[in-house]
Structure 1
Amino acid sequence: MSALKQRIDSLLIEPGCATNQAKNDKARKAGCKKPLTPGAAAGGCAFDGAKIALQPIVDVAHLVHGPIACEGNSWDSRHVYSSGAQTYRTGFTTDMGEFDVVYGGEKRLYRAIKEIAETVKPPAIFVYQTCLPAMIGDDIDAVCQAASTRFGLPVIPVNAPGFAGSKNLGNKLGGEALLDHVVGTMEPEFTTDCDINLIGEYNVVGELWQVKPLFDALGIRVLASFCGDARYRDIAGAHRAKAAIMLCSQALINIARKMDERYGIPFFEGSFYGIADMSDCLRRISALLVEQGAPADLPARAEALIAREEARAWARLESYKARLKGKRVLLFTGGVKSWSVVSALREVGMEIVGTSMRKSTAHDREKVVEIMGTDAHMFDELPPREMYRMLKESKADVMLSGGRSQFVALKAKTPWVEINQERHHAYAGYDGIVNLVAEIDKALHNPIWAQVKTPAPWDLQEGADEGESAFADQELRHG
């Protein structure tokens, strides 16, 4: 059995997965194997998932071993920001062609690594396997090992060819590469009793920077973020953290569980979206750190910070509550946002008419039921035709979704707000909920929607002409 197949099989029976936990022993051993259907990777293949998970490590060179289209399709797909190094923004690829298919691409890969090591001089190089070199048998592990020895820097193989499975599986395969080759290979310059890891935080449009000041105010240091605004050294020394917050169990549960097993780093799943969830995160991480030896007054200081920040946030939201109270929202997202955003919107008096449960775990479903009091608003699939009908019949006043669904809302002449990875506004933390509510308010009260829903003058004229003609016909018939 190949190493890749063994790795995939181990991920399909991941014991930390909520879906696997709900199975009996026989079903759990069988794993989550489901045959892929044609076009199943259209929403993102395994390579895409691995690249998304790891590219926010900002100071390393990310080298894609494959045709240039693979790099072109995945490069900069998220607005992940850096507070310093910009190496991650450069697209490196071996640009394999027909000649490489015949003779193999290992020499081309080695030359690419050599060029990056000598010209860019990054602290590490991540090499991503794609479908083409995997099918012709390129051994990127051997090439990376040889190059690492020759050039004196870590060259990390990320074995996640697109045909291996979905984007979500690719996230986990990227996490496995960190666990196998990076985590625990370096020691941090110093440690504290309040060091934590954030797992599944990608610093999309700078969201990490909205919550990090809150931890700083409590003396809690974010030792490593997997992987938003991360440096290679941060990830390599992440094994010295005292606790962790997992922000997306679907993507990187394997990192959280294995770091708990290997290094004794306890974790819990939380969310930075919404006032209540942000406060809950601060309370839980403070309590967890005290159990690990942090100062006993940490929870009390957390409560004081929460009280101050909540009061500040509610004061800023007060002007929106009257304008948004009772407005109906259709939420088409997935994962942790299926419940965390629901909680945030209900805090300002908005009504949720539906929330999708794509890529959501059993825990996510339980959270939605806990918040909503019912599962009537949850749906697993919402075809574009049904989505259009709901919006056209005015069952929702605004839709929150990813960019691929925006055209359904625009066709239905309904306000739409970007909530997924392509967004340009940060929605995390206390400041983030204010940003989200402000964007919804701007969308709902934009005068363009009243204009596009008003019949065009020529349509009104045609209606008037038809009415006059019908009246004349009626007068002629009745003399």
Structure 2
Amino acid sequence: MSSLRAKIQDVFNEPACEQNRGKDAKARKEGCSKPLTPGATAGGCAFDGAKIVLQPITDVAHLIHAPLACEGNSWDNRGAASSGPTLWRTSFTTDLTELDVVMGQGERKLFKAIREIKEAYGPPAIFVYPTCVTALIGDDIEAVCKRAAEKFGLPVVPVNAPGFVGSKNLGNKLAGEALLDHVIGTVEPDDAGPYDINILGEFNLSGEFWLVKPLLDRLGIRVRACIPGDARYFDIACAHRARAAMMVCSTALINLARKMEQRWDIPFFEGSFYGITDTSEALRQLSQLLVKKGADPEILGRTEALIAEEEAIAWKKLAAYRPRLEGKRVLLNTGGVKSWSVVHALMEIGIEIVGTSVKKSTVEDKERIKHILKDDNHMFEQMAPRELYTMLSEHKADIMLSGGRTQFIALKAKTPWLDINQERQHPYAGYDGMVELVRQIDLAIHNPIWCQVREPAPWDCQPAVREQLPRTKSETATLHVVQEFAGTTADDFGEC
């Protein structure tokens, strides 16, 4: 537990964070993550954050050392996609019971579970995640993992991020520390080259990185490791031999990028593959970093030629949507890199941004938004559901882009909504992804259902008086029966 405490303190004191550098020594020790309220999820715990970062490593077995309820539906946990192995989506848990806790059987049960996974699946590595229960009872996860690795001849990686230590974002960073301590640098590749790069903080949601990788392939740039999207264990183990790196989501793995630069001299920059301009700029910066690390300068010319070709194609496709979407108002309720990169992408085709959430954004992200929007009046740290509903019901936005948690607020306000977070079904990265994003926005806004749901309900309209129709014999007989029962006349009932 003392090593975990030291690791957390090290993650809190992040030199690469501009906000952290501006604090005094005392404030820096207090850290950046807000403590969790007991009994509240606060957007996810540290265990959840660590699992999110590491689970997309597709050929690894992820073992949760905890009671059964700590493991969720791993098959549909996030929208990350794999081009091959599906082992990462299989749930493995030690399923501790009250008796195991009382009798101190946790460590023995963990060792047995590791052996069973090794024999049944033969993965290249096993990641072990303790949670609140196993951390509080004092199970020595690192000792068990070390012994199991020696016994079974495969890497067994302890991911020491129990939920009670902090927020989901802290868990993201602790997952990066686990990779640094136990994975990266453990294998030497025999094919390292001057055009190898790492992509950090890219989750390959809905397979969107597959829209970007062909661009890099055309430039002769090889992705040594994409961490964690569609990753393989040995690719990550060899990641220390890359020549440059791009950070996609700095809030998740900034510590990983900084320490890889310190240890192995891998320079990095923060960029985005959302939007035409940002995608082009990311390709330029990657090429420039590679040239600085010794690559042939001719790659710069090839990069500009590729950018010119792809931008021309993308703008031609987007031309059909501009008249339909220009001037439309969008409310973004997301965070991180999407809080500024998607803003820039949408403004490129004439869409107006009426607001964007910055709850999970870094100081650098917020500065980018100010620069793009020219002010900070459209930035909000957090908007309560009632405020979101009021804004949408008053038609201050034509569509809301957010995650699944707030979709029903938009639907209740009879406003189009599009999922832009991890559960989305369509890839939005790269040039083709930008076209797809605009197409989905156009489909959502111009869906004819919105004209129908905004009309008054039939029961809210004054019914028209129907013309008196002659009654049949059966209707007349029925009215006479009612007459006798209620002491009324047929005329009291009016028209049918």
Considering the TM-score relative to the shorter chain, is it more than 0.5?
yes
Per-residue displacement from partner, 1:184-214 (whole Å, max 9, x unpaired)? 0001230110100000011111011010001
Q: Is residue 250 of structure 1 aligned with residue 270 of structure 2?
A: no
Could you tell me how far apart the structure 2 residues matched to 1:92 and 1:76 are? 14
Query: Which residue does 1:334 correspond to in 2?
Result: 335
Task: Give the % identical residues.
Answer: 65
Q: Is residue 146 of structure 1 aligned with residue 147 of structure 2?
A: yes
Query: Which residue does 1:24 correspond to in 2?
Result: 24
Provide closer, same or farther for how the CA distance between residues 459 and 307 of structure 1 changes in structure 2, counting only shifts above 3 A.
same
**Displacement of 1:33:** 6.0
Q: CA RMSD in A?
A: 1.5
Query: Which residue does 2:103 correspond to in 1?
Result: 103
TM-score (norm: length of structure 2): 0.92
Q: Is residue 92 of structure 1 aligned with residue 92 of structure 2?
A: yes
Could you tell me how far apart the structure 2 residues matched to 1:309 and 1:228 are? 24
Matches within 5 A, 1:3-22: 3-22=3-22
What 5-or-longer segments of structure 1 have no aligned partner? 466-479
Could you tell me how far apart the structure 2 residues matched to 1:11 and 1:305 are? 39
**Displacement of 1:39:** 4.5
Query: Which residue does 1:421 correspond to in 2?
Result: 422
Query: Which residue does 1:238 correspond to in 2?
Result: 239
Q: Is residue 77 of structure 1 aligned with residue 80 of structure 2?
A: no
Q: One-letter code of the match for 1:201? A: E
Mark the structure with the bigger radius of gyration: 2
Provide closer, same or farther for how the CA distance between residues 464 and 66 of structure 1 changes in structure 2, counting only shifts above 3 A.
farther
Provide closer, same or farther for how the CA distance between residues 383 and 76 of structure 1 changes in structure 2, counting only shifts above 3 A.
same
Per-residue displacement from partner, 1:296-340 (whole Å, max 9, x unpaired)? 111111000000000011111111110000000000000110000
Per-residue displacement from partner, 1:376-397 (whole Å, max 9, x unpaired)? 1000010000000000000000
Q: Contact 1:338–1:364 at 8 Å: present in 2 too?
A: yes
**Displacement of 1:35:** 3.6
How many corresponding residue pairs? 465
Could you tell me how far apart the structure 2 residues matched to 1:281 and 1:343 are? 14
Could you tell me how far apart the structure 1 residues matched to 2:74 and 2:60 are? 16
Query: Which residue does 2:270 correspond to in 1?
Result: 269
**Displacement of 1:355:** 0.3
Q: Is residue 175 of structure 1 aligned with residue 180 of structure 2?
A: no
Q: Is residue 122 of structure 1 aligned with residue 123 of structure 2?
A: yes
Q: One-letter code of the match for 1:140? A: I
Q: Is residue 212 of structure 1 aligned with residue 231 of structure 2?
A: no
What 5-or-longer segments of structure 2 have no aligned partner? 467-496
Q: Is residue 48 of structure 1 aligned with residue 48 of structure 2?
A: yes
Per-residue displacement from partner, 1:156-208 (whole Å, max 9, x unpaired)? 00011111111100011111100000000001230110100000011111011
Query: Which residue does 2:477 correspond to in 1?
Result: none
Query: Which residue does 1:469 correspond to in 2?
Result: none
Q: One-letter code of the match for 1:128? A: Y
**Displacement of 1:276:** 0.6
**Displacement of 1:75:** 5.3
Query: Which residue does 2:229 correspond to in 1?
Result: 228
Residue aligned with 1:273, SS: coil
Query: Which residue does 2:349 correspond to in 1?
Result: 348
Could you tell me how far apart the structure 2 residues matched to 1:425 and 1:150 are? 44
TM-score (norm: length of structure 1): 0.95
**Displacement of 1:25:** 3.9
Per-residue displacement from partner, 1:114-133 (whole Å, max 9, x unpaired)? 00011100000000111111
Could you tell me how far apart the structure 1 residues matched to 2:120 and 2:74 are? 23
Could you tell me how far apart the structure 2 residues matched to 1:38 and 1:92 are? 27
**Displacement of 1:363:** 0.4
Provide closer, same or farther for how the CA distance between residues 460 and 313 of structure 1 changes in structure 2, counting only shifts above 3 A.
same
Q: One-letter code of the match for 1:90? A: T
